[in-house]
Amino acid sequence: MPASRFALWRGRAQRLWLTAAASAVGAIGGIARNKWLALHLDTTGFGVLGQIVAGQTWLATFTGLGLGVPVTQRIGAAVARGDRAAVRSTISTALTAIAACVLAVATLGLLFAPWIATALLGSAEHAGLVRISMIAVAGLAFQGTIQGIFAGYSDVRPPLTYALIGNGVVVALVLFAVPRFGLAGAIGSLAAFWPAAIVLTFLFHRRDYADALARPVGPRFDPALGRAMLKVAFAGLTLALLDQGTLLALRSHYVRTRGLAANGLFQASLAISQQIGAIFYSYLGGYAFGKISGVAGVDGVRAYTRKHWAPLAGLAALAFAGMMVCAGPLLHILYSHRFDPARPMLAWMMAGEFAKVCVQIWGLGALPLAGVRLWFPIGVAGTIAMPLVYAGARAAGAGDMSLPFAYGGAQVLSLAFAAVTMSRRGVTLAARDLALLAAGLVGLGALAFTLTR
């Protein structure tokens, strides 16, 4: 292998390793805390916890204003041209806007906690948990922009620090608080992740980001810059709110029709499948998106997409297949024997998560290539499909499997839409790449069917 090609693959492997390491730390932290939670909360407690976490995530996404993508783009462009003032102004404007929104949303969340609890769980009984979750809303709202800062620099080191600190703090708190305070201790411990991770990561990497975080020459909030970023952010924010809101609404219906225990099993399956997918999403969002944003034209986007397809899609197929085979022991290790009924859920959701990874790879260049008009429809396709598949699965008598089928089926339909849309724009895959995709989908579907018969 030529030295230049070897260096390319070595650099790619190192970056993927660092992003995978951050996801692995998250997975290990999740294993530790979920095992402890499973011992103290059972499936019904997990159902309550899952709904509270889903609700706080939706609120935090709204509060974060979707600024992660425009911050990444603007910082990446400013770094490339050496414009330090633009970097500082971008960061200051984004953080100021989010801080104002956090204050308003957290205040409303504290005041209207009983109504939020009723919407999520059908009862105001858990209003206290909703109030505690406002800590998480405040911290999580900043996460997208913080990660956008790192991604703008194509710096894959801080996310690993972020994961180490956040998970270390949460595991320590969970071990202490859950036996003493139950669900309240669990919600409070999980909420501590983001404040601790954000503050301590920047403290650890203060030399690298001291200039970027310095006060800008102009005002802390630049109205013109804020409006420009929010125009780009609006589409991403709408996508995230629709995606998370749709799943949250379906889960609320699922809780009312199938019970909190079924939702607890779904939560366990969702957590495991998304932890595997996070390895690839971290690499794509934290490194590859910044790079493809600087590629010119359809030919460049197509070449970059094809270059990443085989290693990423192939590795994803193997990873999900391995986890599906180990689903039974995995649920025992990560949770307990009470979560055995989640095995068929996990198998089909992992097949869907593979399709979601492929959507992200194929659609990575949509925004740089054609803007929001191409990126938004690809992003919203799965969201539209999910309630339709859910309704169909319920009508067919899928029972507890209706929501897992909806999650997995929506990702496959989203992949089909992305394939057609990107191909029409000229971003096609080579024949061998399409063969790999077909083998992955058919193989994982057959494996899921075999394992859950």
Contact 149, 87 (CB under 8 A): no
Can you tell me the distance from the alpha carbon of 97 to that of 213, in angstroms, rounded to the nearest whole number?
15
Torsion of CA 317, 320, 324, 330, to 10 degrees: 150
Contact 450, 395 (CB under 8 A): no
Can you tell me the distance from the alpha carbon of 271 to that of 264, in angstroms, rounded to the nearest whole number?
11
Half-sphere CA count of 316, side-chain side, radius 13 A:
33
Can you tell me the distance from the alpha carbon of 277 to that of 280, in angstroms, rounded to the nearest whole number?
6
Q: Where does residue 295 rank: exposed (0-12), middle (13-18), buried (19+ CB within 10 A)?
A: middle
Can you tell me the distance from the alpha carbon of 234 to that of 241, in angstroms, rounded to the nearest whole number?
10
3-state SS class at 364: coil
Half-sphere CA count of 392, side-chain side, radius 13 A:
11
pLDDT at 17 (0 to 100): 56
pLDDT at 368 (0 to 100): 78
Can you tell me the distance from the alpha carbon of 216 to that of 149, in angstroms, rounded to the nearest whole number?
15
CA-atom Rg of the chain in angstroms: 21
Can you tell me the distance from the alpha carbon of 73 to that of 151, in angstroms, rounded to the nearest whole number?
9
Contact 339, 265 (CB under 8 A): yes
Can you tell me the distance from the alpha carbon of 1 to that of 192, in angstroms, rounded to the nearest whole number?
48
pTM, full prediction: 0.70
Smallest CA-to-CA distance from 229 within 69, 426, 44 is with 69
pLDDT in tens, the chain (453 residues): 454 554 444 545 555 555 566 666 766 777 778 778 877 877 788 788 888 988 888 899 889 888 887 888 788 778 877 888 888 999 999 999 999 999 999 999 999 999 999 988 888 888 999 999 999 999 999 988 898 888 777 777 888 888 889 888 988 998 899 888 888 999 999 999 989 999 999 898 888 888 888 888 888 898 888 888 887 788 778 888 888 889 888 988 998 899 888 888 898 899 888 888 887 887 787 667 766 766 768 998 899 899 989 999 999 999 999 989 888 888 877 777 788 888 999 999 999 999 999 999 999 888 778 877 888 899 899 999 999 999 999 999 999 999 999 999 999 999 999 999 999 999 999 999 999 999 999 999 999 998 877
Contact 269, 9 (CB under 8 A): no
Contact 205, 18 (CB under 8 A): no
Residue 277 to residues 5, 32, 271, 349, Cα–Cα distance (Å): 27, 19, 10, 11
Torsion of CA 70, 76, 78, 81, to 10 degrees: -150
pLDDT at 153 (0 to 100): 79
**Phi and psi dihedrals of 371, rounded to 5?**
75, -160
Residue matched to tokens 């996801």 = 23
pLDDT at 281 (0 to 100): 84
